[in-house]
Chains A and B, each alone.
Chain A
Amino acid sequence: DIQMTQSPSSLSASVGDRVTITCRASQSISTYLNWYQQKPGKAPKVLIYAASSLQSGVPSRFSGSGSGTDFTLTISSLQPEDFATYYCQQSYSNIRTFGQGTKLEIK
């Protein structure tokens, strides 16, 4: 199965900061990479699909890039509502897998 590794596992940042989260796949997955945001007690919400496509309704401060094995999620200017846990997920294989998550906390 394809393993997904995110870094960092946790991150402290301030409102207005630019933040980057990295996701690495154990093999090349082209651009079959999605990003989700999850807040406590809630279901995940898709932010980015196909590595760089912004889901409808998601603010433009979120962006994704990468292909092959290395991907990034960038939040250009953190807002208070962005403090949450972020997950990457590959859909290259029918055996879907998630990264372990990155918890974004307020500094």
Chain B
Amino acid sequence: QKEVEQDPGPLSVPEGAIVSLNCTYSNSAFQYFMWYRQYSRKGPELLMYTYSSGNKEDGRFTAQVDKSSKYISLFIRDSQPSDSATYLCAMTGNQGGKLIFGQGTELSVKP
């Protein structure tokens, strides 16, 4: 079993839809959670960072962490074609620890 599981998609939605991207993990020591966005032929770009459980909102993006269920989510409201990219979750147990990445979910937002 992988430490971090992420549905690879692809996920296709119409413009304006609410998108939910999810990761599950098995290591209860993970406390720091990140979401990266990677456009085709580009490096990953940090989108959201959260510590421990709870929600964090930044514009159209909301990151949720449920440590009791070992489940994290990224919600994108009013999705735009420019949101079309691969979204990777990443997590670690301590500040200097190795980041463990999910497989990435490929998202396509159709105009």
Q: Do A and B come from one complex?
A: no
* B→A interface (CB under 8 Å): none
* A→B interface (CB under 8 Å): none
